[in-house]
Structure 1
Amino acid sequence: MNEGLAITDLCVDYKTFRMGPVTAVLDPGSVTALMGTNGSGKTSLIRAVLGLQRKDTGSVIFQGTDLTIRDAAILSDVGYVSDSHRDLLAEFTAKEYWQYCRIAFEKASGSRANDFMGRAKHYSTLLDFPYESRTAIAGLSLGTARKVQIIGALLGDPELIVMDEPFSGLDFIASRALESVLGGLRDQGKTLLLANHDLDLATRLANRVLLLHAGHMLLDSSIDMYGSERELEATVSCLLNDARQGAESCSP
Protein backbone atom coordinates (compact mmCIF):
# COMPACT_ATOMS: atom_id res chain seq x y z
CA MET A 1 0.00 0.00 0.00
CA ASN A 2 1.33 3.45 -0.89
CA GLU A 3 1.83 5.52 2.26
CA GLY A 4 3.57 8.41 0.55
CA LEU A 5 7.00 9.75 1.46
CA ALA A 6 8.06 11.54 4.65
CA ILE A 7 11.31 13.52 4.58
CA THR A 8 12.44 14.79 7.98
CA ASP A 9 15.40 17.11 8.72
CA LEU A 10 17.39 15.74 5.79
CA CYS A 11 20.86 17.29 5.47
CA VAL A 12 23.91 16.63 3.34
CA ASP A 13 27.17 18.47 4.01
CA TYR A 14 29.72 19.00 1.27
CA LYS A 15 33.01 20.88 1.64
CA THR A 16 31.57 24.09 0.20
CA PHE A 17 27.82 23.46 0.24
CA ARG A 18 25.13 22.32 2.68
CA MET A 19 21.83 20.92 1.48
CA GLY A 20 19.10 21.10 4.07
CA PRO A 21 17.57 20.68 6.48
CA VAL A 22 14.59 19.64 4.36
CA THR A 23 11.33 18.42 5.84
CA ALA A 24 8.38 17.59 3.60
CA VAL A 25 5.52 15.09 3.37
CA LEU A 26 4.54 13.82 -0.09
CA ASP A 27 1.09 12.27 -0.05
CA PRO A 28 -0.05 9.32 -2.18
CA GLY A 29 -1.77 10.49 -5.34
CA SER A 30 0.26 13.67 -5.47
CA VAL A 31 2.88 15.24 -7.72
CA THR A 32 5.45 17.43 -5.98
CA ALA A 33 7.40 19.82 -8.19
CA LEU A 34 10.93 20.33 -6.88
CA MET A 35 12.12 23.67 -8.18
CA GLY A 36 15.07 26.02 -7.76
CA THR A 37 17.88 27.83 -9.51
CA ASN A 38 20.84 25.96 -10.98
CA GLY A 39 23.01 24.68 -8.16
CA SER A 40 20.21 25.05 -5.60
CA GLY A 41 20.49 21.44 -4.43
CA LYS A 42 17.65 19.70 -6.29
CA THR A 43 19.78 16.79 -7.49
CA SER A 44 21.54 16.59 -4.12
CA LEU A 45 18.15 16.32 -2.42
CA ILE A 46 16.95 13.62 -4.79
CA ARG A 47 20.13 11.60 -4.39
CA ALA A 48 19.96 11.94 -0.62
CA VAL A 49 16.31 10.85 -0.58
CA LEU A 50 17.25 7.69 -2.48
CA GLY A 51 20.37 6.98 -0.45
CA LEU A 52 22.64 7.58 -3.44
CA GLN A 53 24.29 10.42 -1.54
CA ARG A 54 25.29 9.87 2.08
CA LYS A 55 23.14 11.94 4.41
CA ASP A 56 24.49 13.66 7.51
CA THR A 57 21.19 13.88 9.37
CA GLY A 58 17.53 13.09 8.91
CA SER A 59 15.30 10.32 7.63
CA VAL A 60 13.33 9.45 4.50
CA ILE A 61 10.48 7.08 5.32
CA PHE A 62 8.70 5.11 2.61
CA GLN A 63 6.67 1.94 3.20
CA GLY A 64 7.68 2.14 6.88
CA THR A 65 11.42 1.99 6.10
CA ASP A 66 14.14 4.61 5.75
CA LEU A 67 14.93 4.66 2.03
CA THR A 68 18.48 5.80 2.69
CA ILE A 69 19.47 2.38 4.05
CA ARG A 70 19.05 1.10 0.46
CA ASP A 71 16.94 -1.99 1.19
CA ALA A 72 16.59 -3.78 -2.16
CA ALA A 73 13.01 -4.95 -1.62
CA ILE A 74 11.81 -1.44 -0.74
CA LEU A 75 13.74 0.12 -3.61
CA SER A 76 12.06 -2.28 -6.05
CA ASP A 77 8.91 -0.20 -5.45
CA VAL A 78 10.70 3.02 -6.47
CA GLY A 79 11.06 4.26 -10.05
CA TYR A 80 14.00 6.62 -10.57
CA VAL A 81 15.06 8.73 -13.54
CA SER A 82 18.38 10.53 -13.05
CA ASP A 83 19.26 13.85 -14.65
CA SER A 84 21.43 12.16 -17.28
CA HIS A 85 20.59 9.72 -20.07
CA ARG A 86 24.21 8.57 -19.77
CA ASP A 87 23.11 6.34 -16.88
CA LEU A 88 21.62 4.01 -19.49
CA LEU A 89 23.49 0.97 -20.79
CA ALA A 90 24.38 2.57 -24.09
CA GLU A 91 25.37 -0.61 -25.91
CA PHE A 92 21.94 -2.18 -25.33
CA THR A 93 18.86 -1.73 -27.44
CA ALA A 94 15.80 -0.41 -25.59
CA LYS A 95 14.26 -3.86 -25.25
CA GLU A 96 17.54 -5.32 -24.00
CA TYR A 97 17.78 -2.53 -21.43
CA TRP A 98 14.21 -3.15 -20.27
CA GLN A 99 14.90 -6.88 -19.96
CA TYR A 100 17.91 -5.97 -17.83
CA CYS A 101 15.56 -3.83 -15.69
CA ARG A 102 13.26 -6.83 -15.35
CA ILE A 103 16.08 -9.05 -14.09
CA ALA A 104 17.19 -6.39 -11.59
CA PHE A 105 13.59 -5.92 -10.40
CA GLU A 106 13.04 -9.63 -9.85
CA LYS A 107 16.30 -9.96 -7.94
CA ALA A 108 15.53 -6.95 -5.73
CA SER A 109 11.87 -7.73 -5.06
CA GLY A 110 12.26 -11.49 -4.75
CA SER A 111 9.21 -11.96 -6.96
CA ARG A 112 8.50 -12.60 -10.59
CA ALA A 113 7.83 -9.52 -12.72
CA ASN A 114 4.34 -9.60 -14.20
CA ASP A 115 3.80 -8.21 -17.68
CA PHE A 116 7.02 -6.19 -17.63
CA MET A 117 7.37 -6.07 -21.39
CA GLY A 118 3.64 -5.50 -21.77
CA ARG A 119 4.09 -2.29 -19.79
CA ALA A 120 7.11 -1.44 -21.94
CA LYS A 121 4.99 -1.72 -25.06
CA HIS A 122 2.18 0.27 -23.44
CA TYR A 123 4.41 3.17 -22.42
CA SER A 124 6.24 3.03 -25.76
CA THR A 125 2.93 3.65 -27.47
CA LEU A 126 2.01 6.50 -25.12
CA LEU A 127 5.41 8.19 -25.52
CA ASP A 128 5.72 7.45 -29.24
CA PHE A 129 8.83 5.29 -28.91
CA PRO A 130 9.50 2.66 -31.63
CA TYR A 131 9.11 -0.46 -29.45
CA GLU A 132 10.76 -2.80 -31.96
CA SER A 133 13.79 -0.54 -32.49
CA ARG A 134 17.06 -2.44 -32.89
CA THR A 135 19.20 0.68 -32.61
CA ALA A 136 21.59 0.72 -29.67
CA ILE A 137 20.75 3.39 -27.10
CA ALA A 138 24.07 5.08 -27.97
CA GLY A 139 22.69 5.74 -31.45
CA LEU A 140 19.45 7.36 -30.29
CA SER A 141 18.82 11.09 -30.02
CA LEU A 142 18.87 12.66 -26.55
CA GLY A 143 15.08 12.84 -26.35
CA THR A 144 14.54 9.31 -27.64
CA ALA A 145 17.08 7.89 -25.18
CA ARG A 146 15.31 9.83 -22.44
CA LYS A 147 12.10 7.99 -23.30
CA VAL A 148 13.91 4.65 -22.89
CA GLN A 149 15.07 5.75 -19.44
CA ILE A 150 11.63 6.96 -18.36
CA ILE A 151 9.91 3.79 -19.57
CA GLY A 152 12.47 1.66 -17.74
CA ALA A 153 11.70 3.46 -14.47
CA LEU A 154 7.98 2.68 -14.76
CA LEU A 155 8.09 -0.99 -15.69
CA GLY A 156 7.94 -2.32 -12.14
CA ASP A 157 4.71 -0.36 -11.52
CA PRO A 158 6.37 1.56 -8.65
CA GLU A 159 4.42 3.34 -5.93
CA LEU A 160 7.07 6.07 -5.59
CA ILE A 161 8.39 7.78 -8.73
CA VAL A 162 11.35 10.17 -8.50
CA MET A 163 12.47 11.97 -11.65
CA ASP A 164 15.26 14.53 -12.03
CA GLU A 165 14.47 16.84 -14.98
CA PRO A 166 12.45 14.17 -16.84
CA PHE A 167 11.38 16.60 -19.59
CA SER A 168 14.99 17.44 -20.51
CA GLY A 169 15.63 16.69 -24.20
CA LEU A 170 11.97 16.01 -25.03
CA ASP A 171 10.22 17.96 -27.77
CA PHE A 172 6.88 19.66 -27.19
CA ILE A 173 4.76 16.68 -28.29
CA ALA A 174 6.76 14.19 -26.21
CA SER A 175 6.64 16.56 -23.21
CA ARG A 176 2.86 16.74 -23.36
CA ALA A 177 2.67 12.96 -23.73
CA LEU A 178 4.87 12.48 -20.66
CA GLU A 179 2.78 15.01 -18.75
CA SER A 180 -0.30 12.92 -19.54
CA VAL A 181 1.45 9.71 -18.41
CA LEU A 182 2.55 11.29 -15.12
CA GLY A 183 -0.91 12.71 -14.54
CA GLY A 184 -2.34 9.24 -15.03
CA LEU A 185 0.07 7.78 -12.49
CA ARG A 186 -0.87 10.50 -10.01
CA ASP A 187 -4.53 9.62 -10.51
CA GLN A 188 -3.70 5.96 -9.78
CA GLY A 189 -2.47 7.01 -6.33
CA LYS A 190 1.26 6.99 -7.02
CA THR A 191 3.57 9.42 -5.21
CA LEU A 192 5.68 11.52 -7.59
CA LEU A 193 8.63 13.86 -6.95
CA LEU A 194 9.73 15.71 -10.09
CA ALA A 195 12.60 18.19 -10.32
CA ASN A 196 11.88 20.72 -13.05
CA HIS A 197 12.15 24.40 -14.02
CA ASP A 198 8.77 24.91 -15.69
CA LEU A 199 6.31 26.86 -13.55
CA ASP A 200 3.55 26.44 -16.13
CA LEU A 201 4.01 22.66 -15.98
CA ALA A 202 3.96 22.79 -12.18
CA THR A 203 0.61 24.58 -12.12
CA ARG A 204 -0.88 22.05 -14.57
CA LEU A 205 0.49 18.82 -13.14
CA ALA A 206 1.69 19.23 -9.57
CA ASN A 207 -0.19 19.39 -6.27
CA ARG A 208 2.71 20.84 -4.29
CA VAL A 209 5.83 22.85 -4.95
CA LEU A 210 9.12 22.69 -3.05
CA LEU A 211 11.50 25.56 -3.77
CA LEU A 212 15.21 25.30 -3.00
CA HIS A 213 17.90 27.97 -3.09
CA ALA A 214 21.53 27.50 -2.04
CA GLY A 215 20.56 24.27 -0.31
CA HIS A 216 17.78 25.84 1.77
CA MET A 217 14.07 25.18 1.34
CA LEU A 218 12.30 28.48 0.73
CA LEU A 219 8.82 27.18 0.01
CA ASP A 220 6.71 24.09 0.63
CA SER A 221 3.21 24.91 -0.52
CA SER A 222 0.08 23.57 -2.14
CA ILE A 223 -0.31 24.68 -5.75
CA ASP A 224 -3.97 25.38 -4.97
CA MET A 225 -2.87 28.43 -2.97
CA TYR A 226 -2.04 30.16 -6.25
CA GLY A 227 -4.73 31.19 -8.67
CA SER A 228 -2.45 31.14 -11.69
CA GLU A 229 1.04 30.49 -12.97
CA ARG A 230 1.64 34.25 -12.78
CA GLU A 231 0.84 34.31 -9.07
CA LEU A 232 3.12 31.34 -8.39
CA GLU A 233 5.88 32.90 -10.48
CA ALA A 234 5.57 36.16 -8.53
CA THR A 235 5.92 34.33 -5.21
CA VAL A 236 8.87 32.25 -6.41
CA SER A 237 10.63 35.31 -7.83
CA CYS A 238 10.09 37.28 -4.64
CA LEU A 239 11.40 34.47 -2.45
CA LEU A 240 14.49 34.01 -4.60
CA ASN A 241 15.21 37.74 -4.69
CA ASP A 242 14.83 37.98 -0.93
CA ALA A 243 17.10 34.98 -0.43
CA ARG A 244 19.79 36.61 -2.55
CA GLN A 245 19.45 39.90 -0.70
CA GLY A 246 18.94 38.46 2.77
CA ALA A 247 15.51 40.10 3.05
CA GLU A 248 12.16 38.77 4.27
CA SER A 249 9.44 40.66 2.46
CA CYS A 250 7.45 37.85 0.76
CA SER A 251 4.20 36.37 2.01
CA PRO A 252 3.68 33.13 0.02
Structure 2
Amino acid sequence: MTEPVLSLEHATRRYGGFTAVDDLSFAVRPGEIYGFLGQNGAGKTTTLRMIMDIVPPTSGTVRVLGSTSPRNVRRRVGYLPEERGLYRKMKAADSIAYFARLKGVPRAEARSRADALLERFGLGEFRKTKIEALSKGMAQKVQLLSVIAHEPELLILDEPFSGLDPVNQQLLEDMIGELRAGGRTIVFSTHVMEHAERLCDRFLMIAHGKKVFEGTLAEARALDGERLVLVTPDDPAPLRGVPGIASIAPLGGERFALLLNEGADSQAILAACLQHGVTVNGFGADATSLHELFFRFAGASPAPDVQREAA
Protein backbone atom coordinates (compact mmCIF):
# COMPACT_ATOMS: atom_id res chain seq x y z
CA MET A 1 0.00 0.00 0.00
CA THR A 2 1.29 3.47 -0.95
CA GLU A 3 2.44 5.54 2.01
CA PRO A 4 0.30 8.66 2.64
CA VAL A 5 1.80 11.99 1.63
CA LEU A 6 0.38 13.48 4.81
CA SER A 7 -1.13 11.96 7.92
CA LEU A 8 -2.18 12.96 11.41
CA GLU A 9 -2.58 10.42 14.20
CA HIS A 10 -4.56 11.48 17.28
CA ALA A 11 -3.30 15.06 16.90
CA THR A 12 -4.53 17.48 19.55
CA ARG A 13 -3.71 21.15 20.02
CA ARG A 14 -4.68 23.00 23.18
CA TYR A 15 -4.31 26.66 24.08
CA GLY A 16 -4.60 26.76 27.85
CA GLY A 17 -8.02 25.35 28.67
CA PHE A 18 -9.26 25.61 25.06
CA THR A 19 -8.93 22.62 22.71
CA ALA A 20 -8.67 23.89 19.13
CA VAL A 21 -8.06 20.45 17.57
CA ASP A 22 -9.24 17.33 19.36
CA ASP A 23 -7.77 13.85 18.69
CA LEU A 24 -7.71 14.32 14.90
CA SER A 25 -6.59 11.51 12.57
CA PHE A 26 -6.66 11.45 8.76
CA ALA A 27 -4.45 10.57 5.79
CA VAL A 28 -3.92 12.11 2.34
CA ARG A 29 -2.99 9.89 -0.59
CA PRO A 30 -0.46 10.81 -3.29
CA GLY A 31 -1.86 12.76 -6.22
CA GLU A 32 -5.27 13.59 -4.80
CA ILE A 33 -7.10 16.81 -4.05
CA TYR A 34 -8.16 16.63 -0.43
CA GLY A 35 -10.62 19.09 1.04
CA PHE A 36 -10.55 20.21 4.65
CA LEU A 37 -14.05 21.47 5.45
CA GLY A 38 -15.53 23.27 8.39
CA GLN A 39 -17.04 26.47 9.70
CA ASN A 40 -14.79 29.35 10.68
CA GLY A 41 -13.30 28.48 14.05
CA ALA A 42 -13.65 24.72 13.54
CA GLY A 43 -9.90 24.12 13.81
CA LYS A 44 -8.88 24.05 10.13
CA THR A 45 -6.16 26.71 10.27
CA THR A 46 -4.72 25.32 13.51
CA THR A 47 -4.46 21.89 11.87
CA LEU A 48 -2.69 23.31 8.81
CA ARG A 49 -0.28 25.20 11.08
CA MET A 50 0.53 21.94 12.87
CA ILE A 51 1.21 20.32 9.49
CA MET A 52 3.60 23.16 8.62
CA ASP A 53 5.24 22.99 12.08
CA ILE A 54 4.25 26.58 12.82
CA VAL A 55 2.66 25.31 16.03
CA PRO A 56 3.40 21.85 17.47
CA PRO A 57 0.65 19.43 18.46
CA THR A 58 0.04 19.20 22.19
CA SER A 59 -0.15 15.45 21.65
CA GLY A 60 -0.28 13.04 18.74
CA THR A 61 1.79 12.72 15.55
CA VAL A 62 2.03 14.68 12.32
CA ARG A 63 3.80 13.00 9.40
CA VAL A 64 4.58 14.91 6.19
CA LEU A 65 6.23 13.25 3.19
CA GLY A 66 7.37 10.41 5.42
CA SER A 67 8.90 12.65 8.10
CA THR A 68 7.61 13.20 11.62
CA SER A 69 9.47 16.52 11.60
CA PRO A 70 7.64 18.68 9.01
CA ARG A 71 10.37 21.30 9.22
CA ASN A 72 12.78 18.84 7.58
CA VAL A 73 10.68 18.61 4.39
CA ARG A 74 9.53 22.21 4.05
CA ARG A 75 11.29 22.67 0.72
CA ARG A 76 9.11 19.91 -0.72
CA VAL A 77 5.92 21.64 0.44
CA GLY A 78 4.15 24.76 -0.83
CA TYR A 79 2.07 26.63 1.74
CA LEU A 80 -0.48 29.38 1.11
CA PRO A 81 -1.45 30.79 4.52
CA GLU A 82 -4.80 32.37 5.29
CA GLU A 83 -2.98 35.67 5.89
CA ARG A 84 -1.62 36.61 2.45
CA GLY A 85 1.89 38.03 2.28
CA LEU A 86 3.16 39.63 -0.94
CA TYR A 87 5.46 42.65 -1.05
CA ARG A 88 3.24 45.28 -2.67
CA LYS A 89 6.10 47.30 -4.20
CA MET A 90 7.65 44.20 -5.81
CA LYS A 91 6.95 43.31 -9.44
CA ALA A 92 5.00 40.12 -10.16
CA ALA A 93 7.90 38.17 -11.68
CA ASP A 94 10.32 39.38 -9.00
CA SER A 95 7.92 38.25 -6.27
CA ILE A 96 7.58 34.73 -7.65
CA ALA A 97 11.34 34.41 -8.21
CA TYR A 98 12.05 35.71 -4.69
CA PHE A 99 9.93 33.07 -2.99
CA ALA A 100 11.41 30.36 -5.20
CA ARG A 101 14.91 31.43 -4.13
CA LEU A 102 13.85 31.20 -0.47
CA LYS A 103 13.10 27.53 -1.16
CA GLY A 104 16.56 26.91 -2.60
CA VAL A 105 16.02 27.49 -6.33
CA PRO A 106 19.08 29.14 -7.97
CA ARG A 107 18.63 32.77 -9.09
CA ALA A 108 18.57 32.19 -12.86
CA GLU A 109 16.29 29.17 -12.56
CA ALA A 110 13.94 31.06 -10.24
CA ARG A 111 13.64 33.90 -12.77
CA SER A 112 13.02 31.45 -15.62
CA ARG A 113 10.32 29.62 -13.66
CA ALA A 114 8.62 32.89 -12.69
CA ASP A 115 8.37 34.03 -16.30
CA ALA A 116 7.16 30.61 -17.47
CA LEU A 117 4.47 30.40 -14.78
CA LEU A 118 3.15 33.89 -15.51
CA GLU A 119 2.86 33.02 -19.22
CA ARG A 120 1.27 29.65 -18.51
CA PHE A 121 -1.43 31.13 -16.30
CA GLY A 122 -2.26 34.17 -18.42
CA LEU A 123 -0.28 36.86 -16.61
CA GLY A 124 2.73 37.20 -18.91
CA GLU A 125 1.95 40.81 -19.82
CA PHE A 126 1.93 41.73 -16.12
CA ARG A 127 5.35 40.32 -15.25
CA LYS A 128 6.79 43.82 -14.65
CA THR A 129 3.67 45.17 -12.91
CA LYS A 130 3.92 45.90 -9.20
CA ILE A 131 1.70 43.84 -6.92
CA GLU A 132 -0.11 46.97 -5.68
CA ALA A 133 -1.24 47.72 -9.25
CA LEU A 134 -2.76 44.27 -9.83
CA SER A 135 -6.40 43.40 -9.23
CA LYS A 136 -7.13 41.28 -6.17
CA GLY A 137 -7.69 38.22 -8.36
CA MET A 138 -4.41 38.72 -10.21
CA ALA A 139 -2.51 39.25 -6.97
CA GLN A 140 -3.99 36.04 -5.57
CA LYS A 141 -2.84 34.17 -8.67
CA VAL A 142 0.67 35.61 -8.24
CA GLN A 143 0.60 34.48 -4.60
CA LEU A 144 -0.28 30.93 -5.65
CA LEU A 145 2.41 30.94 -8.34
CA SER A 146 4.90 32.05 -5.66
CA VAL A 147 3.89 28.97 -3.66
CA ILE A 148 4.42 26.53 -6.55
CA ALA A 149 7.51 28.04 -8.23
CA HIS A 150 9.87 25.71 -6.36
CA GLU A 151 7.84 22.74 -7.71
CA PRO A 152 6.65 21.27 -4.40
CA GLU A 153 5.26 17.76 -4.14
CA LEU A 154 2.57 18.80 -1.66
CA LEU A 155 0.49 21.99 -1.67
CA ILE A 156 -1.25 23.22 1.49
CA LEU A 157 -3.75 26.00 0.73
CA ASP A 158 -5.62 27.72 3.58
CA GLU A 159 -8.89 29.26 2.34
CA PRO A 160 -7.48 29.95 -1.16
CA PHE A 161 -10.84 31.22 -2.49
CA SER A 162 -11.40 33.76 0.27
CA GLY A 163 -12.30 37.22 -1.02
CA LEU A 164 -12.34 36.31 -4.72
CA ASP A 165 -15.24 37.09 -7.03
CA PRO A 166 -16.92 34.17 -8.86
CA VAL A 167 -14.84 34.65 -12.03
CA ASN A 168 -11.54 34.51 -10.17
CA GLN A 169 -12.78 31.63 -8.02
CA GLN A 170 -13.33 29.65 -11.21
CA LEU A 171 -9.87 30.61 -12.51
CA LEU A 172 -8.35 29.41 -9.25
CA GLU A 173 -10.31 26.15 -9.43
CA ASP A 174 -8.91 25.64 -12.94
CA MET A 175 -5.38 26.28 -11.67
CA ILE A 176 -5.79 23.74 -8.87
CA GLY A 177 -7.07 21.15 -11.33
CA GLU A 178 -4.13 21.75 -13.63
CA LEU A 179 -1.66 21.46 -10.77
CA ARG A 180 -3.15 18.10 -9.77
CA ALA A 181 -2.92 16.95 -13.39
CA GLY A 182 0.79 17.77 -13.14
CA GLY A 183 1.20 15.31 -10.26
CA ARG A 184 0.85 17.57 -7.23
CA THR A 185 -0.98 16.48 -4.09
CA ILE A 186 -3.21 19.33 -2.91
CA VAL A 187 -4.85 19.94 0.45
CA PHE A 188 -7.06 22.99 0.79
CA SER A 189 -9.33 24.26 3.52
CA THR A 190 -12.62 26.00 2.84
CA HIS A 191 -15.94 26.81 4.44
CA VAL A 192 -17.66 27.04 1.04
CA MET A 193 -18.76 23.50 0.27
CA GLU A 194 -19.28 23.95 -3.47
CA HIS A 195 -15.53 24.27 -4.11
CA ALA A 196 -14.88 20.96 -2.40
CA GLU A 197 -17.81 19.30 -4.16
CA ARG A 198 -16.42 20.26 -7.57
CA LEU A 199 -12.71 19.67 -6.91
CA CYS A 200 -12.05 17.08 -4.23
CA ASP A 201 -11.35 13.39 -4.57
CA ARG A 202 -11.90 13.04 -0.82
CA PHE A 203 -12.52 15.39 2.05
CA LEU A 204 -12.50 15.70 5.81
CA MET A 205 -15.29 17.41 7.73
CA ILE A 206 -14.33 18.96 11.05
CA ALA A 207 -16.55 20.55 13.70
CA HIS A 208 -15.42 21.96 17.06
CA GLY A 209 -11.95 20.52 16.42
CA LYS A 210 -13.22 16.96 15.88
CA LYS A 211 -13.48 14.84 12.75
CA VAL A 212 -17.08 14.11 11.80
CA PHE A 213 -16.46 12.48 8.41
CA GLU A 214 -13.64 11.48 6.04
CA GLY A 215 -14.17 9.99 2.61
CA THR A 216 -15.66 10.62 -0.83
CA LEU A 217 -18.87 12.44 -1.69
CA ALA A 218 -20.42 9.14 -2.77
CA GLU A 219 -19.54 7.58 0.60
CA ALA A 220 -21.05 10.54 2.44
CA ARG A 221 -24.25 10.27 0.43
CA ALA A 222 -24.43 6.53 1.08
CA LEU A 223 -24.29 7.17 4.82
CA ASP A 224 -26.97 9.81 4.54
CA GLY A 225 -29.43 7.56 2.71
CA GLU A 226 -31.51 7.88 -0.45
CA ARG A 227 -33.39 11.12 -1.01
CA LEU A 228 -36.36 12.09 -3.16
CA VAL A 229 -37.43 15.60 -4.09
CA LEU A 230 -41.15 16.33 -4.10
CA VAL A 231 -42.43 19.45 -5.84
CA THR A 232 -45.85 20.42 -4.50
CA PRO A 233 -47.81 23.58 -3.67
CA ASP A 234 -49.33 21.70 -0.72
CA ASP A 235 -48.13 21.13 2.83
CA PRO A 236 -46.48 17.66 2.78
CA ALA A 237 -47.18 17.12 6.49
CA PRO A 238 -49.75 14.33 5.76
CA LEU A 239 -46.82 12.23 4.49
CA ARG A 240 -45.12 12.16 7.88
CA GLY A 241 -45.39 8.64 9.22
CA VAL A 242 -45.76 7.07 5.78
CA PRO A 243 -43.67 3.86 5.76
CA GLY A 244 -40.29 4.45 4.13
CA ILE A 245 -40.08 8.20 4.80
CA ALA A 246 -37.57 9.02 7.53
CA SER A 247 -37.94 12.81 7.39
CA ILE A 248 -39.24 15.71 5.33
CA ALA A 249 -37.36 18.98 4.94
CA PRO A 250 -38.13 22.13 2.92
CA LEU A 251 -35.69 22.99 0.11
CA GLY A 252 -37.21 26.35 -0.76
CA GLY A 253 -40.22 27.32 -2.81
CA GLU A 254 -42.40 24.30 -3.48
CA ARG A 255 -39.56 21.77 -3.19
CA PHE A 256 -39.28 19.32 -0.31
CA ALA A 257 -36.65 16.66 0.43
CA LEU A 258 -37.95 13.24 1.47
CA LEU A 259 -35.19 11.27 3.20
CA LEU A 260 -35.92 7.57 2.83
CA ASN A 261 -35.31 4.62 5.09
CA GLU A 262 -33.18 1.79 3.70
CA GLY A 263 -35.18 -0.38 1.31
CA ALA A 264 -37.97 2.17 0.85
CA ASP A 265 -40.07 1.88 -2.32
CA SER A 266 -40.23 5.22 -4.14
CA GLN A 267 -43.26 4.15 -6.17
CA ALA A 268 -45.15 3.32 -2.96
CA ILE A 269 -44.28 6.79 -1.65
CA LEU A 270 -45.56 8.40 -4.84
CA ALA A 271 -48.81 6.46 -4.41
CA ALA A 272 -48.99 7.67 -0.79
CA CYS A 273 -48.80 11.28 -2.00
CA LEU A 274 -51.86 10.74 -4.15
CA GLN A 275 -53.69 8.87 -1.39
CA HIS A 276 -53.11 11.73 1.05
CA GLY A 277 -54.19 14.42 -1.40
CA VAL A 278 -50.71 15.92 -1.87
CA THR A 279 -50.42 17.43 -5.35
CA VAL A 280 -47.36 16.14 -7.22
CA ASN A 281 -45.86 18.61 -9.72
CA GLY A 282 -42.45 16.94 -9.59
CA PHE A 283 -41.05 13.78 -8.04
CA GLY A 284 -37.69 12.06 -8.41
CA ALA A 285 -34.35 11.02 -6.97
CA ASP A 286 -31.94 13.77 -6.01
CA ALA A 287 -28.33 13.80 -4.81
CA THR A 288 -27.78 15.47 -1.45
CA SER A 289 -25.35 18.39 -1.74
CA LEU A 290 -22.14 18.50 0.26
CA HIS A 291 -23.46 21.67 1.90
CA GLU A 292 -26.45 19.76 3.30
CA LEU A 293 -24.33 16.76 4.26
CA PHE A 294 -21.99 18.95 6.27
CA PHE A 295 -24.79 20.35 8.39
CA ARG A 296 -26.23 16.88 8.90
CA PHE A 297 -22.92 15.30 9.95
CA ALA A 298 -21.61 18.26 11.92
CA GLY A 299 -24.89 18.82 13.75
CA ALA A 300 -24.63 22.50 12.90
CA SER A 301 -27.14 25.09 11.84
CA PRO A 302 -26.49 27.20 8.74
CA ALA A 303 -24.56 30.28 9.78
CA PRO A 304 -23.28 33.44 8.04
CA ASP A 305 -19.74 32.03 7.75
CA VAL A 306 -20.84 28.92 5.87
CA GLN A 307 -22.62 30.11 2.77
CA ARG A 308 -23.85 28.48 -0.40
CA GLU A 309 -22.70 30.34 -3.47
CA ALA A 310 -25.30 31.56 -5.88
CA ALA A 311 -25.87 29.17 -8.72
Q: TM-score, normalised by structure 1?
A: 0.82
Residues 204 and 188 of structure 1, relative CA distance in 2, 3 Å threshold: same
Q: What SS does structure 1 have at the residue aligned with 2:299?
A: helix
Paired amino acid for 2:114: A
1:20-48 Cα shifts (integer Å, max 9, x gaps): 22111100111111111111111111111
1:18-77 Cα shifts (integer Å, max 9, x gaps): 112211110011111111111111111111111011221122222321244x12xx1111
Displacement of 1:177: 2.2
Residues 132 and 144 of structure 1, relative CA distance in 2, 3 Å threshold: closer
Q: What SS does structure 1 have at the residue aligned with 2:62?
A: strand
Residues 129 and 197 of structure 1, relative CA distance in 2, 3 Å threshold: farther
Paired amino acid for 1:128: G
Distance in 2 (alpha carbons) for counterparts of 1:233 and 1:241: 12
Distance in 1 (alpha carbons) for counterparts of 2:169 and 2:22: 30
Unaligned runs of 5+ in 2: 222-285, 303-311
**1:103 matched to 2:101:** yes
Give 1:144's aligned residue.
Answer: 138
Aligned residue among 177, 182, 187 for 1:183: 177
**1:21 matched to 2:79:** no
Give 2:8's aligned residue.
Answer: 7
Paired amino acid for 1:22: L
Paired amino acid for 2:137: G
More deviation, 111-120/217-226? 111-120
8 Å contact kept, 2:49–2:55? yes
**1:42 matched to 2:40:** no
Distance in 2 (alpha carbons) for counterparts of 1:102 and 1:170: 24
Summarize the alignment of residues 161-240 of structure 1 with structure 2, pairs less than 5 Å apart.
Answer: 161-226=155-220, 230-240=288-298
Distance in 1 (alpha carbons) for counterparts of 2:166 and 2:293: 26
1:159-199 Cα shifts (integer Å, max 9, x gaps): 10000111123333332222122112223332111011232
Give 2:68's aligned residue.
Answer: 66
Residues 17 and 127 of structure 1, relative CA distance in 2, 3 Å threshold: farther
8 Å contact kept, 2:97–2:149? no
8 Å contact kept, 1:2–1:190? no
Distance in 1 (alpha carbons) for counterparts of 2:125 and 2:51: 32
8 Å contact kept, 1:5–1:191? no
Q: TM-score, normalised by structure 2?
A: 0.67
Unaligned runs of 5+ in 1: 245-252
Q: Which has the larger radius of gyration?
A: 2
Distance in 1 (alpha carbons) for counterparts of 2:135 and 2:173: 20
Paired amino acid for 1:186: R
Residues 215 and 226 of structure 1, relative CA distance in 2, 3 Å threshold: closer
What RMSD, in angstroms, separates the aligned Cα atoms of the two structures? 2.7
Distance in 1 (alpha carbons) for counterparts of 2:77 and 2:291: 31
Greater relative CO (CA pairs within 8 A, separation 6+): 1
Displacement of 1:226: 4.8
Matched residue pairs, number? 236
Paired amino acid for 1:17: F
Give 1:78's aligned residue.
Answer: 77
Give 2:89's aligned residue.
Answer: 91
Residues 229 and 52 of structure 1, relative CA distance in 2, 3 Å threshold: farther
Residues 39 and 21 of structure 1, relative CA distance in 2, 3 Å threshold: same
Name the % identity.
25
Could you say which structure has the higher helix fraction?
Answer: 1
Give 1:155's aligned residue.
Answer: 149
1:189-224 Cα shifts (integer Å, max 9, x gaps): 321110112322212210111111111111112233
Distance in 1 (alpha carbons) for counterparts of 2:18 and 2:180: 33
Give 2:35's aligned residue.
Answer: 33
Distance in 2 (alpha carbons) for counterparts of 1:6 and 1:104: 26
Q: What SS does structure 2 have at the residue aligned with 1:66?
A: coil
